[in-house]
Structure 1
Amino acid sequence: MRLKLTYSFGTITIHDFFLVGEMNEGVLVSYELNQVLIDIALKYFPNKPVIYISRRRNSYSVNPKVYLKSMQIKNLVGIAIVLENNTVIDNTAVEKLFISKPFEIFNNFEEAKFWATNLYNEKLALF
């Protein structure tokens, strides 16, 4: 499955076992925006593990407290951050404090997909 959803805040691409989020420049990932992401995960992955990959090509802000709500999604098994642009501010150290599931940072998308594939295969047996 590969489906691209376009919103005012950015795009979400649905893959077989992961979501890829690309936020627009200057966006604030707030509770309301995070709820949209949660709803997408629950709609497209209701009964199987899902990994969220954030492709950080643009500079935007994340309220790290949104992760507290995201961590309640039972089938969300991991989060990958891809820092593809050296000019994007890296706030992942702060974000990681709010995340209780596997969380990794990558320099390119292919590495993140490889990690997501391994994590998915590992967690699939639990579902």
Structure 2
Amino acid sequence: MGMLHYYNYPETEIFGFDEFLICQIRECAEIQPEHNNKLNEVIQKHFSGKNMVYISNRVNSYSLNPLTYVHTEKIPNLLASAMIPETKFMKKKKKNAKFERDFFDKPYEIFDNLNKAIEWAHTIVKNSN
């Protein structure tokens, strides 16, 4: 399960693997629905014709417009999203992630660590085939 691609944008880093990508949004970034254009480009380039899962590794503090999810769920080969709130501020970030779940109409789970999110991602992709 080696990393296949690395994408470095001003507001985020994206690590692409076989069945999922891990996104780490940078400190103080402001994520709006139009950021989905970049995400969709990466997904269509990296996962062309393949189902995949989005994993958000929330290690930084940033703002996110929850309406972003309304557009994210329209990405055709995106099956699900996993959130890993950073442990130092987990209580508040977990609350935010639960609120954001209401805007995403595909499987959306919150995990305490990256390993569990990756295991879940593999299961989601496997069950979709």
TM-score by length of 2: 0.90
Q: Distance in 2 between matches of 1:93 and 1:83?
A: 11
Aligned residue number for residue 16 of structure 2: 14
Runs of 4+ in structure 1 off by over 6 angstroms are none
Question: Does the aligned pair in 1 maintain the 2:49–2:77 contact within 8 Å?
Answer: yes
Secondary structure at 1:54's aligned position in 2? Answer: strand
Aligned residue number for residue 100 of structure 2: 95
Secondary structure at 2:106's aligned position in 1? Answer: coil
> Displacement of 1:2 after TM fit?
1.8
> Displacement of 1:32 after TM fit?
2.5
Secondary structure at 2:56's aligned position in 1? Answer: strand
Question: Structure 1 regions of 5+ residues with no counterpart?
Answer: none
Q: Which residue identity does 1:115 align to in structure 2?
A: W
Question: Does the aligned pair in 2 maintain the 1:52–1:79 contact within 8 Å?
Answer: yes
Aligned residue number for residue 112 of structure 1: 117
Q: Which residue identity does 1:92 align to in structure 2?
A: A
Aligned residue number for residue 59 of structure 1: 61
Question: Structure 2 regions of 5+ residues with no counterpart?
Answer: none
Q: Which residue identity does 1:102 align to in structure 2?
A: P
Question: Does the aligned pair in 2 maintain the 1:58–1:85 contact within 8 Å?
Answer: no
The equivalences for 1:31-46 within 5 A come to: 31-46=33-48
> Displacement of 1:84 after TM fit?
2.8
> Displacement of 1:20 after TM fit?
0.6
What is the root-mean-square deviation in Å for CA atoms of aligned residues? 1.3
Q: Which residue identity does 2:101 align to in structure 1?
A: K
Q: Which residue identity does 1:69 align to in structure 2?
A: H
Secondary structure at 2:13's aligned position in 1? Answer: strand
Question: Does the aligned pair in 1 maintain the 2:60–2:86 contact within 8 Å?
Answer: no
